[in-house]
Amino acid sequence: MDSVVRGKEGRFDPLKGIGIDPFVSEFDMGLAQPLSRSVRLNGFATCLRLEQVYWDILGEMARANRCSVSALLSHVDREVHLRHGGVKNFSGLVRVVCVVHSLKEGRA
């Protein structure tokens, strides 16, 4: 078990035990900015709010599939309905799809 790290005045300091800093020196806070975009999901116009980093990943995925981001998201929407009866949080699903894609590509 990890030893407890105590800061000044004997209080527990949870950050002292962090060995890998998630904020790399080149960290771009712009990637964390949420951005709303209008997309068409299977013919229906809707608005999707995602952080810039996810829009970037979706753009890469769409280029790899030679389609638009809307076509890619329509595919995700259609498949989640066919395979699982839908999803309550589509934005959350899209984020997970992006993370899984990045893990498979070895970039995460």
CATH number at residue 94: 1.10.3990.20
pLDDT in tens, 40-71: 998 999 999 999 999 999 999 999 999 999 99
Question: 27 pLDDT exceeds 90?
Answer: no
Q: Does residue 2 lie in a domain region? A: no
Q: Does residue 8 lie in a domain region? A: no
Q: Does residue 96 lie in a domain region? A: yes
DSSP 42-104: TTEEEEEEEEHHHHHHHHHHHHHTTS-HHHHHHHHHHHHHHHHS--S-HHHHHHHHHHHHHHH
Q: How many domains does the chain have?
A: 1
Q: In whole angstroms, what is the distance from residue 66 CA to residue 41 CA?
A: 17
Q: Does residue 86 lie in a domain region? A: yes
Q: Does residue 20 lie in a domain region? A: no
What residues have CB less than 8 Å from 49, skipping those under 6 apart? 34, 35, 36, 37, 91
Q: Does residue 1 lie in a domain region? A: no
Question: Which carries the bigger pLDDT value, residue 1 or residue 83?
Answer: 83
pLDDT in tens, 74-98: 999 999 999 999 999 999 999 999 9
Provide the residue range defining the domain that includes 76. Answer: 28-104
Q: Does residue 63 lie in a domain region? A: yes
